[in-house]
Structure 1
Amino acid sequence: MDPVYAERPAPAGLACLWTSTVSSPAVQRVVPDGCTDLMWTPATGALVVAGPDTSAQLASFGPGTLYGVRLPPGAFPSVFGVPAHAVRDQRVPLSELVPSARLTTFSSMVDFCASRVVVDPALAATASLLRSGDVGAVAWDIGLSSRQLRRRCLDAFGYPPKVLQRVLRFDAAMRLAWAGVPFSTVAFEAGYADQAHLAREVRALAGLPLGQLIRP
């Protein structure tokens, strides 16, 4: 049985709250989206932080329910106190990042993240510009050198600017594809050169063709 995944709105500053439930063990492909997550497995009490991914991860689930709090791109350092690149492509116990945290319920997880998250408009603007702009031009527009922009992106998002650009563009494409938009239109609206470019990037970041990735 595939995991039954559900999202609901989160407090200000967080991306969403989610659950994934299975009645028997299952494996799910998790694709990069620029976000990070704090996850809790009630059956074991495990609290794990999922860092920003650069490629698809295969995650084992269940049986039972996995609870998650998703942070938007750029929010990780304010909640966990370390640069996002320190946990890139990793799953790390919360106790290694915040030893003082004592979380035993989903609501305590939400409160923990909501009370610590800082929304930085400058980071949101940087991400928005990088979705479609040239990296050098973006650095110029926001008054940073290329090296400063790289350092800012690594600390806040976990990626260098060009990788962040690829991940954000891929996430935009996935959202359009899941909504039923034709792939040729997805390529245009998400900022790819053409549909072949979209296909190459999806395979590189997700490990599967787009049609297979969004198949129910």
Structure 2
Amino acid sequence: MYAQRASRLTGAVVWRNTLDDDPAVRPVLPDGCMDLLWNGGRLLVAGPDTHAHVPGGGPAHWAGVRFPPGVGPAVLGVPAYELRDRRVELTDLWPAADVRRLGGRIAAAGDPLPALEEVALTCAADADPPDPLLGRLVAALDAGRPVAVAADELGIGARQLHRRSLAAFGYGPKTLARVLRLQRALALARGGVPLAATAARCGFADQAHLTRDVKELTGLPPGELLGRRQ
């Protein structure tokens, strides 16, 4: 079972998930985010996905902090493209002694989720702030603006925008725009908006275009994806 709530870290979400053997368990879909994870006494990092990731293996109980797009690399101190489509131990990124200290704090807590959130808050407070320009890029793309228009509004060249997007999101602005549009479309469809209307409202050419894009990014057609357990 999956549950989430807003974090005290601005824009972030904290979540917990207990996996079972149900084949209809919800896959983790691309969203431009990175997560700090706790599982079986280990601290891990989930990089930005370009396709659906199906959780599985290891202890069934997971806790996580999902940073908003562009924030994870600033907090964790690693470019997002280095972790694209990967789950890695935090010890691969940080000194082992520091990770053991943080892990001990979480393990000693009665509930690991609030303790994990505290770790994320502390790390964010000690980190340099994320690139404010890229926050504006996310807002522009999430509003449906084309990449070229967003770049002009931000006053930045295409090459520099691509380079900075790779570091912050793990992929270029065009892929980020597709991922954000996917999330907007799924939110509308899960809210009961018919797929044809969802396609029109999210800027797809038609429902067939929406279906192709969803299947390319998630591996499933919209009907099957939306039928998965929430």
Q: TM-score, normalised by structure 1?
A: 0.89
2:140 aligned to 129, 139, 151, which one? 129
Are residues 182 and 136 of structure 1, via their aligned partners in 2, closer, same or farther at CA, if it must alter by over 3 Å? same
For the residues of structure 2 that align with 1:153 and 1:63, how far apart are their CA atoms? 34
Are residues 25 and 92 of structure 1, via their aligned partners in 2, closer, same or farther at CA, if it must alter by over 3 Å? farther
Tell me which residue corresponds to 2:75: 79
| 2:48–2:84 CA contact under 8 A, matched in 1 | yes
SS across alignment from 2:49 = coil
SS across alignment from 2:55 = strand
SS across alignment from 1:60 = coil
1:111 aligned to 93, 101, 118, which one? 118
1:43-192 map, 5 Å: 44-60=40-56, 64-99=60-95, 100-101=98-99, 102-104=102-104, 105=106, 106=112, 107-117=114-124, 118=129, 120-131=131-142, 132-192=144-204
1:21 aligned to 18, 23, 27, which one? 18
Structure with the higher strand share, 1 or 2: 1
Larger mean CA deviation between 21-30 and 71-80 belongs to 21-30
Larger mean CA deviation between 96-105 and 150-159 belongs to 96-105
Which residue identity does 1:67 align to in structure 2?
A: A
Tell me which residue corresponds to 1:5: 2
| 1:173–1:186 CA contact under 8 A, matched in 2 | yes
| 2:199–2:205 CA contact under 8 A, matched in 1 | yes
Which residue identity does 1:125 align to in structure 2?
A: R
Which residue identity does 1:60 align to in structure 2?
A: G
- Alpha-carbon RMSD across the aligned residues, in angstroms, is 2.0
Structure with the higher helix share, 1 or 2: 2
Q: Percent identity?
A: 43
Which residue identity does 1:11 align to in structure 2?
A: R
Between Structure 1 and Structure 2, how many residues are aligned?
A: 211
Larger mean CA deviation between 172-181 and 97-106 belongs to 97-106
Q: TM-score, normalised by structure 2?
A: 0.84
